[in-house]
């Protein structure tokens, strides 16, 4: 049975609930080790792959994630559609805590990350078209699935990818807002670009954990609140995925 969908779970999503016939694969890649074993299993009659981006024990910070190994390993196992689930801070007024969004644009502010499979000596240099960073069909299918599952999801928005692991200053978020970012997170890139290099269909489900610095009414971002919001938003992901698989 081929893999219909791969999920890369972010902060708060370390296992896919209710997976049946689970097999774990520790994949070695030309780019090193993925964040953890890749878990294959069934949701109903559909086979999916799951990978915890930060490791199942959340031991890998965003700037140390081996994005290349993660994406390569999923592709190697046969995945062709990948949904990245990412915790984010909300910048735009309708992107407050607990909101789910399927962004349609990205601005990359990260640095010192290995951002391409072309970095290896002798590899063919590819200049991928990235004007639309996410797969239009997978985005549309996710939005339709959320609607069928009666889960409100914001359609579109620009994801600003920051280096982390620290949260941003108010001035940095003000700059991101001026740049047109609606959401801010630390893990959206280079994952999306690497997926495009391997011609995977890739889209992001962003879970808003908190107002970004200086947004909303919060003076300071509280970690317990972030985790409570994330837990709430994360619970909406499996029903969306089930609806996506059911088609
Ligand atoms: N900034 C960056 N990444 C995040 C945030 C944030 O405020 N919240 C959750 N991930």
pLDDT tens digits, residue range 26-83?
A: 999 999 999 999 999 999 999 999 999 999 999 999 999 999 999 999 999 999 999 9
Q: Is 133 in the pocket of ligand 1 (CB under 6 A)?
A: no
Q: Is 86 in the pocket of ligand 1 (CB under 6 A)?
A: no
pLDDT at 152 over 90: yes
Listed in sequence order, the DSSP H helices in 149-222 are 170-179, 191-197
| φ, ψ (nearest 5 deg) of residue 119 | -70, -5
The structural architecture, per CATH, of the domain 5-246 is 3-Layer(aba) Sandwich (3.40)
Residue 239 has a pLDDT of 97
Instruction: Give the domain ranges of the chain.
Output: 5-246
pLDDT at 220 over 80: no
pLDDT at 219 over 80: no
Q: Is 162 in the pocket of ligand 1 (CB under 6 A)?
A: yes
Ligand 1 pocket test: pick from 184, 191, 233 the residue with the most ligand atoms within 8 Å of its Cβ. Answer: 184
Residue 225 has a pLDDT of 87
DSSP string, 109-168: ---SS---GGGSTTPPP-----SS-S-HHHHHHHHHHHHHTT---EE--EEEE---SSPP
Distance from Cα 198 to the centre of ligand 1, integer Å: 27
Q: Is 185 in the pocket of ligand 1 (CB under 6 A)?
A: yes
CA–CA distance, 191 with 90 (Å, rounded to integer): 20
Lowest mean pLDDT among 95-109, 116-130, 172-186: 116-130
Atom of ligand 1 nearest to the CA of 167: 1
Which is more confidently placed, 135 or 18? 135
Residue 45 has a pLDDT of 94
- Average per-residue pLDDT for the chain: 96
For 98-121, write each residue's pLDDT tens digit. Answer: 999 999 999 999 999 999 999 888
Tokens representing 240?
A: 């969306």
CA angle 129, 81, 203 (to 5 degrees): 60
Neighbours of 120 (CB within 10 A): 12
| Protein residue with least CA distance to atom 5, ligand 1 | 89
């Amino acid at each position: 049975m081929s893999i219909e969908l791969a999920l890369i779970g972010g902060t708060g999503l370390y296992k896919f609930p209710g997976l049946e016939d689970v097999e774990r694969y520790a994949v070695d890649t030309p780019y090193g080790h993925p964040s953890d074993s890749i878990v294959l299993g069934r949701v109903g009659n559909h086979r999916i792959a799951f990978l915890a981006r930060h490791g199942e024990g959340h031991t890998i910070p965003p700037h140390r994630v081996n994005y290349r190994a993660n994406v390569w390993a999923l592709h190697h196992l046969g995945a062709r559609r990948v949904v990245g689930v990412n915790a984010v801070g909300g910048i735009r007024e309708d992107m407050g805590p607990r909101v789910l969004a399927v962004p349609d644009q990205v601005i990359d502010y990260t640095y010192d990350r290995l951002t391409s499979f072309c970095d290896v000596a002798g590899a063919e240099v590819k200049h991928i078209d990235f004007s639309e960073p996410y797969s239009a069909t997978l985005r549309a299918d996710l939005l339709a699935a959320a609607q069928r599952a009666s889960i409100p999801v914001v359609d579109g928005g620009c994801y600003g990818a920051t280096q982390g692991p620290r949260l941003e200053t108010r001035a940095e978020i003000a700059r991101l807002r001026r740049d047109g970012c609606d959401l801010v997170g630390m893990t959206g890139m280079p994952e999306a670009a690497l997926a495009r290099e391997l011609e995977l269909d890739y889209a992001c489900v962003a879970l808003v954990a908190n107002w970004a610095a200086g947004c909303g009414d919060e003076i300071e971002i509280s970690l317990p609140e972030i985790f409570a919001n994330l837990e709430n938003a994360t619970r909406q992901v499996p029903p969306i995925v089930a609806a996506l698989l059911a088609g």
